[in-house]
Structure 1
């Protein structure tokens, strides 16, 4: 190397720190990307477009491991597409999270002994906005920590004026089309929050209760009566029937008759319904239509009264009994006690484990409750969402989840969209003094003196508009024209029903809107839907606060760096599959990042720099092999990315970088750098590392940015081009010679280890047959990597091994005299031999035991057979070594 080249190399290597410390560079590097505008989408660009919307996190939220996975995968795709020459928009934003946000602010007021009613609706909403400005959006700072390349200039909030206009617009259209209506139906009711909540906000937990069997009708066995069982005794105050199966002979005589309610004295009918399972319990069930989903459906079928016996706080009301005013759980005990006193409790089973829905936000058991709510009629909307996937306009990845999609959209119930909250998009319905109703659009004004509906819309209603409302709909905007439909939606498979289906329904409902302009593609909201799995701990258990096994992704960023977090998540990600991770995985990813950093720094110190490659004929076998492998790995990575198989892409890059570039080519390059044509090696090493860093950048952006800029002196790897195929035919012969060389070196290393030689200890050796194996040109590399020296005049063969290669067998003759403590080695081998013989005897004994073989599963027997074979090989190998040493 010339002195000028040496000085240049030193400067480039010196631009890197001594070691990679993520906390020193990541925050500053990220802000530099943002300031440079790398993530800002240009609506005037003539590049092909690629757009993704960020599933809007709750304004109250913080980054959990599921977010980190989702964000990492989206960021990897958008970074790659940007490098491929696309105009990329990754649309960020936050959800106003009606229930969660209102709850946070109400809890703050409660500290001072205040409630929202003390302030009134307008002042309370002002306080929520104050909280949002001061404390909301913690997750945005965390997104920056992990490197999310979103277009912050387009950050949106579901309560922005533009998005609110979109909500009001689509509500009115749906209302005018008869697809939004008001009706009294059963909902999931939260007594704590005093609102209806969605199915996704209900979490089912097994709880210990009591199954109580109650006697209705006469206490005289000779007179009409039935026995029913329930875990919710208090709801019997709202019973309006007892149901049996129409073919149940036990009750045929009393079907159509009535029995006196044990407490209220009302006459309630005995009805027949196919829903009842005659084999379960007594074959008779109590019907409380206002407080049970199945009972409600039966009540509709049989036109039963539906008295609501609980108020919004789940207190008993309107029954005319002594239980009015009691909390539902207190009433459960008191009603059972009264019935027991009257001899109507036939049996009690305690404890009785059963599944009960609980509010995700407030934790209490939800109450199925008949309530007057606003609904979306989903039949036609859901059909269009199903047809879009059937027609291939939208593709679900993996396709194995398509049946779940169809199972949901083809059987969807009407959607309850009203919430009894103050924070959120208020329902644009106004009521006149004489009961008139009008839906007010965004450019309309309600009649003077009319009153607006007090409810707000379900948060999922505004979220369902996210792919197009964030781009300016209902106005016709340049960004809507350029970036819609979006390219792909990323989300967990657990919310495919709740959010994805709603976006599809609303997107297709407005698909022909003039705002979208003329499109030559289907106006679905996204072309692909990628569904990733859930994050589990290293033992395969779902992460949760209650289990205490949750991991804060920011803790891993602090300990190991953002790149290590991202690589861990992406390496485990496959479409639709859960992934189990633990701290050992993050540590391994950190080690990979460190390995890469050290490798590139070493290469820079030795003059590596990407440049025009010389003619292939001027390159060594190792050069051609590593360039060909780079081509193959690039193709693997491209295929994997296009199929959303992030784990496969990361595995290919990991093993190429560690096993082939670092463990082999760098070591071979050290030898080649001592040869006259050293410049070619520096160029090849530079070209390979340049491409490798670009291939790795989407997943580990920080370390690759630092290394790539040092290696190439380029502006930023973020805006560099994605590696393309070389177009050069693979040199199969060179690859075979490198494979043979690797096998030979590996066998010598294994032999040295068996001999007890230290790693750096050099041994005199002669390679017999190297010419026939076509490895003459690699003899210096073999010697260097296997720690061998040429034989001298006093060379004496004390050990040898034969290695069968593709073209010939090479015999390696070694002179280990003076390098091995023969007596110590003999003792070690004898100890190993004794252990192997013990294992052989034990496995042989089991396999000759007929009683054992008759009872043991096949897989157990197979494992023991495999252990026996391995033990036999070890006995033979160690015995041969001892024989070579002249064992006593």
Structure 2
């Protein structure tokens, strides 16, 4: 046994133990013959740094993997990073810009080499930070989505999907980021409300007989209009369907078509259709018979005005930025009489109606996103989705919380083709080669493509790279060595569980299900657990722009990783977001300190490491009780973690350690350890050492650092705690008789303590206690627990009837305990004090009840104000009731 320092210092402990675990290979111990258990970490961006969402996600994963490891399983937590095409290219380009250089100053190969150089020097920030959090990942097998083996898997999947007709090239609209010059995914689009305008335009009929009116928030797009749509049931336009309008500025003739997209109740009921620059219009255009290849494109890659294929855009508009072009288009429309003015409430005329418009922005570039018509590579997601839908319906993959299934099915059943190409230099370059006649040849190598094309045919490789979600969709099996290794035979596929934020359910989780089922013929994970967001203390979503983000590393510096981890687990309740609460983290730091001090108490009383996995034999009720409580806690944690109830598991160990072990058991055994008239000191030391060991093991998944430190200091060990054995949940150790006796003692002591406090009995005063109507069982318990009762409640058992006069009376079960107050308390003054306090509490209670019964307050006040009033009312009502009971006890 090594004596513990008086002060618990998390920083020193954490750095020392993590290095020891990693260098000793203890995150993936050799366990031949053990059942494999695998979990893969959602690969963070190689450019990333640890944020509070990562802290939650990785804490939950570490709790499960440490629990599985302690249960003797061959637990493996696969770790790695994503090459993050856009983010990484931006970082390196920014560095070049600082040196007055740009990407195009280099060849593609030279630029990619610079990215690899950056990755080697600076790309490990987040992995170092995950170590700070205590994540027990298999670092010896760390993966990267651009490493050689993983890249081989990506190429194989692309080529096979193409050969199976499930991956193809098509002209469709994409989210185009003009700042980055690439298509981006929906997840990379950030919608913001922007103050904008709504313009009303007149389009003249071809025959000059009148106008049809349309409205738009993007008037410049009229340069590429190809139709005007009206609802088929809108009688106002029945006679016009099939006729044409002549567009202002371009003079283009476009037809009036019917489509249910046009809503007769909105505006004029007529809608301008720009299929090359609006997602809804694209579908309307296709229904109207316009092929994507025929749709007009009026923007270049930088969102500047480009000439359409019919050559009708005036020359003075060409090359203008889209927003500059908007001003000029509006001016031309107004000058030519095609702009319908907006009249405000005061009768003042304006060019446009002010509107707040939901506007898409690129989350990295900050530029307004344009729907843009381009040739891209697409995956037939609808076909791949069918087995993935059935996997969840059948329960092959269980979604927790189950409430997310409805959202999953709705998205998967309406899934659109998945655009997988990006216009970048960093990433998996698409394995497709083009001949001069436009023919395309897809193969894993250029040599294979050349064989397909024939000798002498000049080939040019596609410049695009793959969306990073395409490669990360292969994570559960490509990280294990597929396609070179049979990962299913190794028992590493499917993974046991995947933990993910709900925000990437479609972008990552669903795509892993699709690709895993297609290539491995089995689901990639048996359970999918979706956790919520970590929100600011006031419930708002955290964002840098609001300035309400929280740095988890700062919290670790302040309170220790164990406290932050325990907060995350304790607050993770299925289906709910977590509100940040630094006071709670501080409270869990205090919890760690309490455990530290309990271990120091054990050491000072000769209690050390246990020598047995099974509980020592116990005759004293208090020892039989704590053994049973320990086993019940093991059962509760096992059940909670099996159901992924992290909050229930954390609460079970917290209550057991704080209340049962520290507050009661250690107090109850002091008379035994200090020889105050009780036998069984050796038994008690053995039991206490065993219970502390079980606590350290049970708490280890949540608080790995302090538990490993205490484990090492309590006595000689055969192995570190991280690879110890999980306690046995042996129901034979449950002891109802001992539980009833000690629970009775705890209730009696608690009632006496509460009553003493309420009646202002001096803490050091000892009171006699007389017992009336006690059963034989109660009398026997009083005899056995006399020393504990005397120490904990500061009472001495007295014989005979209680003397007349004021006394404190408590009823526990059938017996009445009478504690004469004698000269200890001024009874009249105490009655007066209680009466006054009761009146004050009742006044506050009734005042709050009045506010809560007022519909005006409940409906108009902020929700947090109403919630606080309800909490305050409950508190005052309980206080009044408690004080009234105290007054009644005085008789």
- TM-score normalised by length of structure 1: 0.90
Distance 1:120 1:266 in 2: 43
Q: CA deviation at 1:595?
A: 1.2
Distance 1:322 1:661 in 2: 82
Distance 2:843 2:418 in 1: 69
**CA contact 1:165–1:442 (8 Å) conserved in 2:** no
More off after superposition, 102-111 vs 395-404 = 395-404
**What SS does the aligned partner of 1:481 have?**
coil
Task: Establish whether residue 299 from structure 1 lines up as the match of residue 299 from structure 2.
Answer: no
Aligned to 1:137: 124
**CA contact 2:617–2:683 (8 Å) conserved in 1:** no
Structure 1 spans left out of the alignment, 5+ residues: 1-10, 513-522
**CA contact 1:833–1:879 (8 Å) conserved in 2:** no
Task: Establish whether residue 726 from structure 1 lines up as the match of residue 726 from structure 2.
Answer: no
Instruction: Say if 1:614 and 1:170 are closer, same or farther in 2 by CA, change over 3 A.
Output: closer
**CA contact 2:758–2:883 (8 Å) conserved in 1:** no
Q: CA deviation at 1:709?
A: 2.2
Distance 1:287 1:409 in 2: 28
Aligned to 1:75: 62
Distance 1:431 1:353 in 2: 45
Distance 2:148 2:624 in 1: 60
Aligned to 1:461: 470
Task: Establish whether residue 717 from structure 1 lines up as the match of residue 721 from structure 2.
Answer: yes
Give the one of 762, 766, 777 matched to 2:766: 762
Distance 2:72 2:855 in 1: 68
Q: CA deviation at 1:737?
A: 2.0
Aligned to 1:5: none
Instruction: Say if 1:277 and 1:580 are closer, same or farther in 2 by CA, change over 3 A.
Output: same
Aligned to 1:811: 817
More off after superposition, 630-639 vs 724-733 = 724-733
1:770-791 CA distances to partner (integer Å, 9 max, x unpaired)?
A: 6642422112211211122466
**CA contact 1:255–1:270 (8 Å) conserved in 2:** yes
**CA contact 1:209–1:353 (8 Å) conserved in 2:** yes
Q: CA deviation at 1:181?
A: 1.0
> Mapping of 1:681-720 within 5 angstroms?
681-714=684-717, 715-720=719-724
More off after superposition, 211-220 vs 624-633 = 211-220
Instruction: Say if 1:330 and 1:862 are closer, same or farther in 2 by CA, change over 3 A.
Output: closer
1:557-610 CA distances to partner (integer Å, 9 max, x unpaired)?
A: 100000011000011113333221221121111111111111122122212232
1:647-670 CA distances to partner (integer Å, 9 max, x unpaired)?
A: 110011111111111111111011
1:471-498 CA distances to partner (integer Å, 9 max, x unpaired)?
A: 1111125786331221111111111111
Give the one of 28, 31, 56 matched to 1:40: 28
Aligned to 2:499: 490
**CA contact 1:41–1:151 (8 Å) conserved in 2:** no
Instruction: Say if 1:539 and 1:290 are closer, same or farther in 2 by CA, change over 3 A.
Output: same
More off after superposition, 204-213 vs 367-376 = 204-213
**CA contact 1:563–1:699 (8 Å) conserved in 2:** yes
Give the one of 786, 805, 820 matched to 1:779: 786
Instruction: Say if 1:880 and 1:479 are closer, same or farther in 2 by CA, change over 3 A.
Output: closer
Distance 1:393 1:400 in 2: 17
Task: Establish whether residue 749 from structure 1 lines up as the match of residue 753 from structure 2.
Answer: yes
1:393-435 CA distances to partner (integer Å, 9 max, x unpaired)?
A: 2111122211111112221111111100000000010112343
Distance 2:210 2:683 in 1: 100
**What SS does the aligned partner of 2:403 have?**
helix
**What SS does the aligned partner of 1:574 have?**
coil
**What SS does the aligned partner of 1:19 have?**
coil
Q: CA deviation at 1:64?
A: 0.8
Task: Establish whether residue 412 from structure 1 lines up as the match of residue 415 from structure 2.
Answer: yes
- TM-score normalised by length of structure 2: 0.90
> Mapping of 1:292-371 within 5 angstroms?
292-304=278-290, 305-318=294-307, 319-346=313-340, 347=342, 350-371=353-374
Aligned to 1:378: 381
> Mapping of 1:643-658 within 5 angstroms?
643-658=643-658
**CA contact 1:65–1:551 (8 Å) conserved in 2:** yes
Aligned to 2:139: 152
Give the one of 67, 74, 79 matched to 1:92: 79
Aligned to 1:17: 5
Instruction: Say if 1:842 and 1:431 are closer, same or farther in 2 by CA, change over 3 A.
Output: closer
Distance 1:719 1:107 in 2: 45
Distance 2:644 2:501 in 1: 14
Aligned to 2:638: 638
Distance 1:110 1:850 in 2: 61
Distance 1:669 1:879 in 2: 34
Q: CA deviation at 1:98?
A: 0.3
Aligned to 1:3: none
**CA contact 1:192–1:364 (8 Å) conserved in 2:** yes
Instruction: Say if 1:402 and 1:866 are closer, same or farther in 2 by CA, change over 3 A.
Output: closer
Aligned to 1:738: 742
Distance 1:297 1:614 in 2: 69
Instruction: Say if 1:443 and 1:314 are closer, same or farther in 2 by CA, change over 3 A.
Output: closer
Distance 1:156 1:813 in 2: 70
More off after superposition, 530-539 vs 316-325 = 316-325
Aligned to 2:840: 835
Instruction: Say if 1:192 and 1:266 are closer, same or farther in 2 by CA, change over 3 A.
Output: same
**CA contact 1:290–1:296 (8 Å) conserved in 2:** yes
**CA contact 2:206–2:244 (8 Å) conserved in 1:** no
**What SS does the aligned partner of 1:530 have?**
strand
**CA contact 1:60–1:97 (8 Å) conserved in 2:** yes
Instruction: Say if 1:869 and 1:646 are closer, same or farther in 2 by CA, change over 3 A.
Output: closer
**CA contact 2:224–2:296 (8 Å) conserved in 1:** yes
1:605-638 CA distances to partner (integer Å, 9 max, x unpaired)?
A: 2122324599998522221222112111111110
Distance 1:850 1:543 in 2: 32
Instruction: Say if 1:544 and 1:836 are closer, same or farther in 2 by CA, change over 3 A.
Output: closer
**What SS does the aligned partner of 1:544 have?**
coil
Distance 2:694 2:853 in 1: 57
Instruction: Say if 1:325 and 1:864 are closer, same or farther in 2 by CA, change over 3 A.
Output: closer
**CA contact 2:632–2:734 (8 Å) conserved in 1:** no
**CA contact 1:420–1:456 (8 Å) conserved in 2:** yes
Distance 1:871 1:572 in 2: 28
1:153-211 CA distances to partner (integer Å, 9 max, x unpaired)?
A: 10011111111111111111111111111111000000000000011111211111111
Task: Establish whether residue 500 from structure 1 lines up as the match of residue 509 from structure 2.
Answer: yes
Aligned to 1:426: 429
Q: CA deviation at 1:29?
A: 0.4
Distance 1:556 1:144 in 2: 15
Distance 1:206 1:137 in 2: 36
**CA contact 2:838–2:884 (8 Å) conserved in 1:** no
More off after superposition, 140-149 vs 796-805 = 796-805
Give the one of 261, 265, 268 matched to 2:247: 261
Distance 2:298 2:789 in 1: 87
Structure 2 spans left out of the alignment, 5+ residues: 308-312, 343-350, 451-455
> Mapping of 1:192-341 within 5 angstroms?
192-217=179-204, 223-304=209-290, 305-318=294-307, 319-341=313-335
Instruction: Say if 1:755 and 1:866 are closer, same or farther in 2 by CA, change over 3 A.
Output: closer
Distance 2:600 2:730 in 1: 25
**CA contact 2:167–2:378 (8 Å) conserved in 1:** yes
Aligned to 1:128: 115
Instruction: Say if 1:611 and 1:137 are closer, same or farther in 2 by CA, change over 3 A.
Output: closer
Matched positions, count: 855
**CA contact 1:473–1:480 (8 Å) conserved in 2:** no
